[in-house]
Amino acid sequence: MKDLAYSLGCLRDLDWLAASDLEGKCVMDSSLNQRMGPRDCNFFLRDEREGDKLWHVLVDYEGPGCLTRFWTAGDFDGELEFYFDGAREPAIRTTLRAFFSGGLFPFVKPVVMDCADSSQGRVSYLPIPFAKGCKVRACSGTGSFYWQINALRYPHGVEVQTLPSQWSAAQRQALEQVCNRWGRDHGFPGGEGARLVRVEVPRRSEVVVFESEGEGCIDQLDFDLGSEPEALSSLALQICWDGEAAPAVAVPLSHFFCQGAKRRDFSSLLLRRQGGRLSAAFPMPYAKGARVKLVNSSTADLGLTVGIAHRAAPCTTELRFHCRYQREHFTYGTLYQVLKLEGRGRFVGLNQVTQQVGAAVHGCFNQEGNEYIYVDGEQDPSWLGTGTEDYFNCAYFYLLGEVDTPTHGCLDQSYSDTGLEERGRVSAYRLHLLDAVPFHRSFLLLQEAGCPKKGALAGLNGREQLVYQWTCYWYQGMVDQS
């Protein structure tokens, strides 16, 4: 049963990210209309006029599903309504400002974040399941209505229980448990992880820091750099699963932990830095063994302490954790490939460092680029983005500055008034939970390095130079032969 208890459980306990159950298709509808020109706001599915009110319908889904994320930009207001299962009257009637305030039950902080919490973005991660359909509409006079809605669309026949109008004591307790976890150190698991052991990694060499045979699961990785922060720049993490020679994880330590630009503390549900200690809590099951290595590319010997919390446990999934880093030089307006996969799995996160090279006309204007996701060979993307900072749940070039939350954050935002220093640099991350993207045959994530339509108007396309670095996190198994 895909009910509220199931969905809240997925926000509290994250082992399901590695599970083989890939039921449902993740879609994202948004205010972007590819035929409308350079603006990525004020597009709606349709309009409905009632008396003197003009309602904008954002989505109108048929069949079972669950809204997993709702994002808007800025502090504009207006009426907001949710209709479930073909009903003529709204089950939820409120205002946009009240909905994202975090004070309207059940849309409460920290599962719901307002502008101050998310650097001018507003986002709700409260799951909204529906059995037969869901319509969301708004009546707002703003001239810049930016919005995104993520949903899991289930096949007909899947049993889903619609969001209740009256919550039981058990449901309230489940939500409270989610809020307690997300509110404590931004959700990173409690405890100290495994005992830290000193490891020396000789120059131009590699060291195996963990090796296990048989079935099991790595629950947490800890690396304490102590007083040798240069290790963060020079060490790379490699992980091989089930005796495979090729690493499923191959990434610089700095980029794995979202430290590819400014080095700063942060905390989230799955990644954290506290001083010299870096921690990751992605569930990492394996069936025939695991090997974790550190590779030192520098000309100096490096030392650090390492702790890997693991347990012997039956492996009930064929999905394995993967991570990949890439660095490219683009000209403004380039549409590039972030990640392309064949097989089945689940995309669960991205961190990215974007940097304008030299003097720039607009600081952070590269954040105007949209993202597009195609799954299982579809010709039209089922995910339409409205801007890079929007993907990271913020808005207006991170107007309120740097931020870190359980699911997303901006960890660096650098400007220069003179144009002689680095400017337009952004480091941001986003982790996908119920908005993770399952795929059965293929997955393709494309992104614009700056919006080509806006770049054409500003005269930037092909001229302004950009350096992009990105790290993707996902789970992947065998190709589906059915």
Q: Mind listing the pLDDT tens digit for each residue in 292-312?
A: 999 999 999 999 999 999 999
| Surface-to-core class of residue 202, CB atoms within 10 Å of its CB (0-12 exposed, 13-18 middle, 19+ buried) | exposed
Structural domains in the chain, CATH included, are 4-187 (2.60.120.1390), 197-311 (2.60.120.1390), 323-476 (2.60.120.1390)
Give me the residues paired with residue 442 across strands. Answer: 342
Q: Is 160's pLDDT higher than 90? A: yes
Tell me the pLDDT band of 420, cut-offs 50, 70 and 90. Answer: low
Amino acid at site 357: V
Q: What is the pLDDT of residue 480?
A: 41
Tell me the pLDDT band of 424, cut-offs 50, 70 and 90. Answer: confident
Tell me the pLDDT band of 416, cut-offs 50, 70 and 90. Answer: low
Percentage of the chain with pLDDT > 70?
95
**Calpha distance 85→384 (Å, rounded):** 25
Residues 354-405: tens digit of each pLDDT: 998 877 677 778 899 999 999 999 999 999 999 999 999 999 999 999 999 9
**Calpha distance 14→12 (Å, rounded):** 6
pTM for the model stands at 0.95
**Residue 158 φ/ψ, nearest 5 degrees:** -70, 130
> Lowest-pLDDT range, 186-200, 263-277, 287-301?
186-200
**Calpha distance 326→339 (Å, rounded):** 10
What's the token pair of residue 336? 């590039």
Q: Is 479's pLDDT higher than 70? A: no
